Amino acid sequence: MRGLKKQRRIQIIMAATAALTLSAGLIGYAMRDGINFFRPPSEIVDNPPPPTEVFRIGGLVEEGTLIRGGGETISFRVTDGGASIPVTYTGILPDLFGEGEGMVGTGRLVDGTFEATEILARHDETYMPAEVIEALEAQGVYRDPNAPES
């Protein structure tokens, strides 16, 4: 009787382990296309990703580079202070999007130009995405406007 209970527990533990492993594998497989890594312009210049990889880029829209083409096509350059990447986007931009403002875009790097499928801008006068702040701080460009003067 004792051996039967022990064998049953081992079978249950093995089945639970197999089920957890299978579900973790299925979750990973389902998310493989949904995970977009953030990269600042300096990292993209140093190590360009392949044209098939979808990722997010973020930084400041470089002053004097915003060009509104015919129709809904817009081009500009995004910078983190260390490097600058040209960006093209076809669509309607967020209301607070503009030169010198923070942005995050999703898309691919094709022939040295980031072709964005989505552009996000801050949603109020003081917000900037955490990834953009970190990239700008790493280049020594960003200073928190709420931080006390030193």
pLDDT tier for residue 51 given thresholds of 50, 70 and 90? confident
66 and 10, same structural domain?
Answer: no
Would the pLDDT of 143 be above 70? Answer: no
Query: pLDDT above 90 covers what percent of the chain?
Result: 25
pLDDT tens digits for 56-100?
898 888 888 888 876 778 899 998 888 899 999 988 888 778 888
The total domain count for the chain is: 2
59 and 13, same structural domain?
Answer: no
**Is residue 83 within 8 Å of residue 66, measured between CB atoms?**
no
Residue 95 within a domain = yes
pLDDT tens digits for 88-125?
998 888 877 888 888 889 999 999 899 999 988 765 55
106 and 49, same structural domain?
Answer: yes
Please report the pLDDT score of residue 123 as a whole number.
58
Q: Assign residue 105 the CATH number of its domain.
A: 2.40.50.140
Cα distance between residue 72 and residue 110, in whole Å: 19
**Average confidence score pLDDT of the chain:** 82
Please report the pLDDT score of residue 126 as a whole number.
58
95 and 49, same structural domain?
Answer: yes
Residue 150 within a domain = no
Q: Which structural domain, as residue segments, surrounds residue 111?
A: 38-138
Please report the pLDDT score of residue 69 as a whole number.
72
Cα distance between residue 120 and residue 57, in whole Å: 10
123 and 51, same structural domain?
Answer: yes
61 and 11, same structural domain?
Answer: no
